[in-house]
């Protein structure tokens, strides 16, 4: 089986989708001739032509707005916003139009669009290239929100998203594009070619939306994570020696609540980890759901390890980034409660 980086897996997903369905179109800033800032769309314009993979003006509102119109007409746009930090001009189109089109038309129209965005930090991108805005989208009825953590899932989830009849926000942790990252920035980078989840089938397959994956089975504490934080949580468990069960959520909406509840009822403890800021982050929703459904099984309060309530700092990147030391401390504190 071939091995791919996450970049290559995402490109393969779009290639497969475009090859199977002529209604799938790909566009965004620099995604055509240039192949995207991270090269996720490299070669697609040469293969499918400029009418199906093309560059758009520097207008996120225009990119998403055009995609919504195309979707209502019957096409299936998969558009790229160059960084998640740039999505805010398009937020009204996503919330007021894409998310509500099925409801407001009484099912007469659907909006099968995918909005791809590189998300998160760990690359010294500073405050305008490092944000994690997933909670802004999980709050909106009518959207689906996906955050893959590896190439195998990225391809299957992206194909499933493109084939889904409703709008999907597809957030790609850019720190994972070329390899897993456990938060130890001072250590050599591991390539996906050396990781089992870098093995990706060449053809068509889907990974179901709304289904989490247990990355590490354990009995002492449940860790809920997604994206880059899955590997940080694994490192923290190994370094502390705590038998943590680590759940990779993969899809935030719809959420695999069944897997979460079963795990927390087994372990009696829960730590939530995400890179986004603490206040009103998606971790608050997860903590509330765990408390609501597992209250009589909890042996300790639900803990959260997140980014700080500040803009993402360039000079203090690793003080902001929730690394294995902070996650490990939360695990130890939760076990001692």
**Residues taking part in catalysis:** 129
DSSP E strands: which ranges in 40-84?
53-55, 76-80
Going by DSSP bridges, is the β-strand pair 244-248/213-216 parallel, antiparallel, or unpaired? antiparallel
DSSP for 14-56, written as a single string: HHHHHHH-TTEEEEETT-SSS--TTSTTTTHHHHH-TTTEEE-
Partners of 187 in the beta sheet? none
CB atoms under 10 Å from CB of 124, counted, come to: 12
- Residue 272, helix vs strand vs coil: strand
- Residue 306, helix vs strand vs coil: strand
Q: Does the CA dihedral 63-69-70-72 come out positive or negative?
A: positive
Closest among 200, 178, 173 to 274, alpha carbons compared: 173
- Residue 336, helix vs strand vs coil: helix
- Residue 26, helix vs strand vs coil: strand
Closest among 256, 236, 252, 255 to 244, alpha carbons compared: 236
């Amino acid at each position: 089986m071939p091995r791919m980086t996450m970049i290559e897996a995402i490109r393969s997903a779009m290639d497969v989708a475009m090859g199977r369905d002529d209604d799938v179109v790909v566009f965004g800033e620099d995604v055509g001739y240039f192949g995207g800032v991270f090269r996720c769309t490299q070669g697609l314009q040469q293969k499918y032509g400029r009418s199906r993979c093309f560059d758009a003006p520097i207008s996120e509102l225009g990119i998403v707005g055009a995609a919504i119109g195309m979707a209502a007409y019957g096409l299936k746009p998969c558009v790229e916003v160059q960084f998640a930090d740039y999505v805010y001009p398009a937020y009204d189109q996503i919330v007021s139009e894409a998310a509500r089109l099925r409801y407001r038309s009484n099912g007469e129209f659907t909006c099968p669009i995918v909005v791809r965005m590189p998300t998160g930090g760990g690359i010294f991108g500073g405050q305008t290239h490092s944000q994690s805005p997933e909670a802004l989208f999980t709050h909106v009825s009518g959207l689906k929100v996906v955050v893959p953590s590896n190439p195998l899932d990225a391809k299957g989830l992206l194909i499933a998203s493109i084939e889904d009849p409703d709008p999907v926000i597809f957030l790609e942790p850019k720190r994972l594009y070329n390899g897993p990252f456990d938060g130890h920035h001072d250590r050599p980078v591991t390539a996906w070619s050396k990781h089992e989840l870098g093995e990706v089938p060449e053809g068509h397959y889907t990974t179901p939306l709304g289904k989490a994956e247990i990355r590490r089975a354990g009995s002492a504490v449940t860790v809920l994570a997604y994206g880059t934080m899955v590997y940080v949580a694994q490192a923290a468990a190994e370094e502390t020696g705590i038998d943590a069960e680590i759940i990779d959520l993969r899809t935030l909406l719809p959420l695999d609540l069944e897997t979460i509840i079963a795990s927390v009822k087994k372990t009696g403890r829960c730590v939530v980890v995400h890179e986004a800021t603490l206040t009103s982050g998606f971790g608050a929703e997860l903590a509330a759901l765990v408390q609501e459904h597992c209250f009589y099984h909890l042996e300790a309060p639900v803990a959260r390890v997140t980014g700080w309530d500040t803009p993402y700092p360039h000079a203090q990147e690793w003080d902001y980034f929730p690394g294995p030391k902070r996650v490990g401390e939360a695990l130890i504190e939760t076990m001692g409660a």
